[in-house]
Amino acid sequence: MKKYTVAILGASGAVGNAMLSALEERNFPIKELRLLASERSAGKKMMFCGNEIEIQKAESNSFIGCDLVLGAADNSISKQFAHDIQKANALYIDNSSAFRLDDHVPLVVPEINGEDVLNHHGIIANPNCSTIIGCIAVYAIHKINPIQSMIVSTYQAVSGAGIKGMEEYQNQLKDVYEGHPSSPKAFDYQIVGNLIPQIGSFLDNGFTSEEMKMQNEGRKILHNPHLFVNCTCVRVPVLRSHSLSMTLHLKNTYDLDEIKKALSHAKGCQLVDDPQNKLYPMPLDTSNQDNVYVGRLRKDLCNDHSLTLWCCGDQIRKGAAVNAIQIAEKCIELQCL
C-alpha cells in the first residue's frame, strides 16, 4: 500500500491535536508526518505512534515533498499558504471556511457526498462543524423524503473556539467558583453560567455568519440548492460536543417509525431515542466519539410534513479532524490522492 507524506498546518491547536490522534487510531498510511504551526509553538514536541515529532514554524517552503496537507488553522493562515501547498502539488484538505463556497472546491462529508472529491483541483474543504453534525443527522431522512427547509438552533461548545475557548472556560469556572470577576477574551461575555446568542459576525439580514453556513454549506453538501435554513447559533458553557435542535419541513407526510428505521441504519449516525427511559443524546456522552447521535424524534404539532429531532456530535472529531481524514481516505479509495 502506498504511504504518504502528510503535513498538519495548525498541529498544536484543538483540531490539529485531534488530527494527530485520529491519524494514529485509523492507521492512516503515513511515510512522513510534518507538524506545522506558528513560531509560538515551533520547537515543542507532540507524540505520534510512540515517537516525538517537533513542531516547525510554517513557511512557504514547508510543503515541498508533501502529498497531503491537513489544514487546521484560521482562514487568514489557510489563504496565506494555499498557493504554496498547490505549488508543492499536495492535496489540501482545509478546515477553515476560506474556500468552502468556492465553485471549484468540493465541500465534503464522506457519508453524504464522498464522490464529490473526484472534482477536486488541489483543495477540498471540510464543512462547518455544526453543518456536518446537522447534515449527518438528517441525510437518511432527506433521502426518503426530501427536506424543503429547516429551523435549527445550535448549542455550541466552547471548544468550537479552539484551545483559547477551552482554556478561558476552564479558568473562568475556577474564577467564578472562587468569586473572582472574570475578564473574557475568547468570548465577548462571561460564558460560565451564561448563553451567548452570537457566533460569528452579524450580517445585513440579522443572521450571523455562522448561522448562514448551515444553509449555504448545507445546500452544497446535500446537492439541494433550494434548501432554506433558519438558524440560531448559541455558545453554551459545555466543553465539547455541539448539540442541535432541528425541525425539518419535508416534501411529503411521513411515518415516524419509518424515519426511525432509516436513521437506525444511517452511516455515521447512532439513534438514541428512548425517552421513556430518559435516553437521548447529550454532549457529555458524545464527546471524543465519531458518530452523530440522534434522538427526541417527534411529529411537529403545527404541520404534518414536519418533524423535530435533537442531535449531538463531537465537533472537533467528526465536525473537523475525523471528517478531514475520512475525506483523505475517500481520495485514496477513489484514486485521486
Interacting residues with ligand NAP (CB under 6 A): 10-16, 36-38, 40-41, 58, 72-74, 77, 95-96, 129, 159-160, 162-164, 315-316, 319-320
Min dist. Cβ of residue 75 to ligand NAP (A): 6
Cβ proximity to ligand NAP: between 162 and 268 the closer is 162
Distance from the Cα of residue 309 to its chain's centroid: 19
Cβ proximity to ligand NAP: between 113 and 241 the closer is 241
Min dist. Cβ of residue 82 to ligand NAP (A): 13
Burial of 194 per CB tally in 10 Å (0-12, 13-18, 19+)? middle
Min dist. Cβ of residue 208 to ligand NAP (A): 14
Residue type, 2: K
* Phi, psi (rounded to 5 degrees) for 290: -105, -10
Q: Where are the alpha helices (DSSP H) in the chain?
A: 14-25, 75-87, 110-113, 129-144, 162-177, 209-221, 256-264, 283-286, 322-333
**Closest to 44 in 3D by CA, of 33, 56, 34:** 56
Distance CA 299, CA 63 (A): 51
Cβ proximity to ligand NAP: between 10 and 110 the closer is 10
Min dist. Cβ of residue 65 to ligand NAP (A): 18
63 touches 94 (CB < 8 A) = no
CB-closest chain residue to ligand NAP = 13
**Residues with a known catalytic role:** 129, 242
Cβ proximity to ligand NAP: between 281 and 319 the closer is 319
Query: Apex CA 29: angle with CA 25 and CA 30, to 5°?
Result: 95
For residue 199, what is its C-alpha cell?
457566533
